[in-house]
Amino acid sequence: MTNEKIPYKIYLEETEMPKYWYNVRADMKTKPAPLLNPGTGKPMTAEELSQVFCTELVAQELNNTDRLIPIPQEILDFYKMYRPSPLVRAYCLEKQLQTPAKIYYKFEGNNTSGSHKLNSAIAQAYYAKQQGLKGITTETGAGQWGTALSMACSYFGLDCKVFMVKVSYEQKPFRREVMRTYGASVTPSPSTETAVGRKILEEFPGTNGSLGCAISEAVEAAVTRPGYRYVLGSVLAQVLLHQSVIGMETKAALDKYGIKPDIIIGCAGGGSNLGGLISPFMGEKLRGEADYRFIAVEPASCPSLTRGKYVYDFCDTGKVCPLAKMYTLGSGFMPAPNHAGGLRYHGMSSILSELYDEGLMEATSVKQTDVFAAAEQFARVEGILPAPESSHAIRVAIDEALKCKETGEEKTIVFGLTGTGYFDLYAYQKFHDGQMDDYIPTDEEIAKSLAKTPKLS
């Protein structure tokens, strides 16, 4: 079908939807470093992990060998409600840029959670239900993950307890209300509900909270309640596995029209979207079957890949989680308060960290005013109001397309449009009012934060 006209949106038929998640670790020669027990310094066993996480998810977390993992039928049925997501040819953006490049974006905002996070949320809720659990706990920052998990839990009739970073809880009351609509309970973090929350509040009274704090609280809430487990929306290998549905669909849609991308771009906070999008393409690259450029785009205010160190570090502020080897800015690192949107985690998925370290993937960082300028430009021609996170990828896609304009190259660029910006209009407003600035951490600040990583690696 190579010569067929490429439609604006490539939809797959239900029958063309992927039935497997793709596990990129199976094709990696050097596997990502294992999670370590912070007490013993030894790799976490399945038994240890199962006290915090659902049993089947632990198995997925530790599975470095199976390339394809069947998606259970009930998850496939849920996916059918909002997937396949469209792969859109950005004809209007191309025209505006007057670029010979061909730009495609995989749009994951077409579900009420408003982002790609639902792909893993429904999987994690499913396995929790299978295990006979009563409920699950989690943290949320910008709110995309909490929203997605609330939806998923509502679908399976699971209790859902969300610790929401306090500053987001207060600034985004509507995010909280969506979660409530889906029946979740939402607690601003740090809270007095957990020992670790009380300790943090004692040490930093009046703190606005952080993702690291909220993780600590959610983990404690899970392990101290019978019938509960903790779930996480990014960073972990299992999450990248579930998110591979994005990449599998993208590849199937491109293959359907005989299109081979040159550059694949994704925003990167913990790595869930980027990891999912690139997985099957990276597999081809690892197996020597094809070559692609992969670009991770991170905020200049939280540049874990581009300015962090590849070491073992704590995943949370309260240090109750296992240690992960990752590009990190140090678990105490906090992006400047004026940083809008998500992508504010101090570390990066161990899988992506390893791929980046081996030179299989590039990374770049962008300033947030440049990001919002790209967001607005994109919205005006392509219609979709993008999330700030997604707009990091838009920025670099536009920049790459403009390079093609200079060189005359007809490159094919694919980027992940992870979600919509309906709950981020406060940030858009700041941008419009000229009140948004770009704080970039100094080398000293990063070094100071990195000095506190544990001495293990």
**Which residues are near its own copies by CB under 8 A?**
7-9, 11, 13-14, 80-82, 88, 92, 110-114, 151, 154-155, 173-174, 177-178, 180-183, 376, 379-385, 420, 422-423, 425-426, 428-429, 432
Smallest separation (angstroms) from its own copies to the CB of 404: 22
What's the Cα-to-Cα distance from 206 to each of 72, 167, 189, 200, rounded to whole Å?
A: 45, 11, 11, 10
Identity of the residue, 9 or 134, whose beta carbon is nearer to its own copies in the bound complex? 9
Residue recorded with tokens 């497997």: 20
Can you spell out the DSSP letters for 20-81?
Answer: EEE-GGGG-SSPPPPPB-TTT-SBPPHHHHHTTS-HHHHHHHH--S-SEEEPPHHHHHHHHH
Burial 145-177 (b: 16+ CB within 10 A, else e): bbbbbbbbbbbbebbbbbbbbbbbbeebeebbe
Smallest separation (angstroms) from its own copies to the CB of 289: 31
Identity of the residue, 35 or 393, whose beta carbon is nearer to its own copies in the bound complex? 393
- Separation CA 183–CA 387 (nearest Å): 24
Residue recorded with tokens 């893993």: 120
Identity of the residue, 58 or 397, whose beta carbon is nearer to its own copies in the bound complex? 397
CA 346 to chain centre: 13
Identity of the residue, 8 or 452, whose beta carbon is nearer to its own copies in the bound complex? 8
Token pair, residue 384, equals 């979709």
Smallest separation (angstroms) from its own copies to the CB of 8: 4
Identity of the residue, 42 or 180, whose beta carbon is nearer to its own copies in the bound complex? 180
Element (H, E) at 156: helix 144-156
Smallest separation (angstroms) from its own copies to the CB of 93: 11
Smallest separation (angstroms) from its own copies to the CB of 357: 38
Identity of the residue, 22 or 372, whose beta carbon is nearer to its own copies in the bound complex? 372
Smallest separation (angstroms) from its own copies to the CB of 308: 32
Amino acid making up residue 292: Y
CA 417 to chain centre: 12
Identity of the residue, 81 or 402, whose beta carbon is nearer to its own copies in the bound complex? 81
Residue recorded with tokens 């690892």: 286
Identity of the residue, 23 or 187, whose beta carbon is nearer to its own copies in the bound complex? 187
What SS3 state is found at 270? coil
Smallest separation (angstroms) from its own copies to the CB of 246: 17
Q: Do 301 and 307 touch, CB atoms closer than 8 A?
A: no
Smallest separation (angstroms) from its own copies to the CB of 22: 23
